[in-house]
Chain A
């Protein structure tokens, strides 16, 4: 499948010389939900701004729907909806008007029925005749989403949509993303909540210091996360493992004092019972047993540490 967003080797240096993107390449497939995970200052907003035309890349190329975002900006931007990280709204404008404005700006003919549907979906309909300044923070964020959806984008960027919002809005947001997925909309969201990426994404990308460290299917990552390790300390150091244990893929430590057994917690049989039996049969005495789990958080922290 051709990718709907294609970022090739993009670098971005700001005027002060700071390089916020250091050769980012990323392909996003049509219809997928991609979570970009990264700490503050990683370059998430810069990457999104560069795709959407708010900042110009120093080098590299970007296409959306096959259209180059600079040479063919009209066609590319027609497909894009953007919900920025900061809540930027004209304070004295009415909700309905500001959403209408967005649709017009994107060249679409006025369609109040559609906008009212969008507002209803976001529980904003009752507020349509309020001025934006009268709304709570969460409501303002909903207005920003309504503005982005008003022109029926095929690709939606949500920049930290749930940072600092209440639980209810976060749940609504997740449901919204699910509905968009069913409509075939590609969604790219940035977050620093791992649970959020886990809950809604198909793929997870990890970004730090302007570099993409990994982009992987969530299920593959989860599988890695589902791996557990059992460390078995022996009463007497072994120099070589007996043949009878070869099926377990055990790893003997350098000093021969411990063994590590990796297994999948989600498998039908973990093999622990038979391993312990076979260890006893082989005459190896156990002093201690520990298990540890590698979480997405561990993977993330590990990756971020490695890169910095």
Chain B
């Protein structure tokens, strides 16, 4: 194992994060606070409670998921796209480092960043609402799995993208709608039956639901289904990444 190589990539990527530390921390804190003000105060005053949990607290897992998903995609896709774009990727390709090690370096760094942002948002929310976490272990497990799997997806997008537009396309057109329609800010039981059924095809629903269960012990879909969904998704992404390195897709001429 080329540990020094993994560390070099990981450090380099983390340095990018810390170069813009203010932006990295301030922006999630600010947007979370705004969500609390808008959703928690404005809508919360009408909704009051969802299945025994105050609406302000109810949206916390969804808020964390929203940020963690977008940050994972952004960080990981940019992390690998940028060296491709400016040509420094030659060095990684010619180094004595395996594909697995490259992925651990890039995806690991992206996942760490979004994990940190998730933690920051959780801490911020303690200032706005009372929350207790029913299953801390599962909360962390769901969070880590989400960070890793969506960083893998970001990595794939970064390799696939041929322009900055394409880089932003998937998060914008696919992921953000899925997050908003995935029960981040409501329970799908509040929806008409037809939309409940449609929602079941939204993979993000399973993430949010499992994550929320870890907080409050309640969920839209069975926890086992959530676990299967996220594990399956991670496996799928790993498979695609494996194929990319095997064929050199958009990495090697």
Contact = CB atoms under 8 A, between A and B. Distances in A.
B90 A88 contact: yes
A104 B252 contact: no
Interface residues of B, number: 27
B253 A105 contact: no
Interface in B87-107: 87-88, 90-98
Interface string A71-86: 0011111101010101
Interface stretch (A106-114, A272-280, A285-293): A106-114
A49 B253 CA distance: 10
B12 interface: yes
Nearest to A104: B8
B46 interface: no
A252 to B, nearest CB: 55
A91 B91 CA distance: 15
A77 B94 contact: yes
Task: Give the size category of A's interface with B.
Answer: 35 or more
Given A55-B253, A78-B96, A105 B8 contact: yes
Contacts of B248: 56
A239 interface: no
B82 to A, nearest CB: 8
A293 to B, nearest CB: 41
A262 B5 CA distance: 59
Contacts of B253: 14-15, 49, 54-55
Nearest to B251: A54
A86 B93 contact: no
A162 B93 CA distance: 24
B94 A104 contact: no
A96 to B, nearest CB: 12
A89 B89 CA distance: 10
B85 to A, nearest CB: 10
Contacts of B86: 88-91
A147 interface: yes
A53 interface: yes
Nearest to B3: A107
A56 B93 CA distance: 11
B2 A88 contact: no
Interface of A: 14-15, 49, 52-56, 73-78, 80, 82, 84, 86, 88-93, 97, 100-110, 147
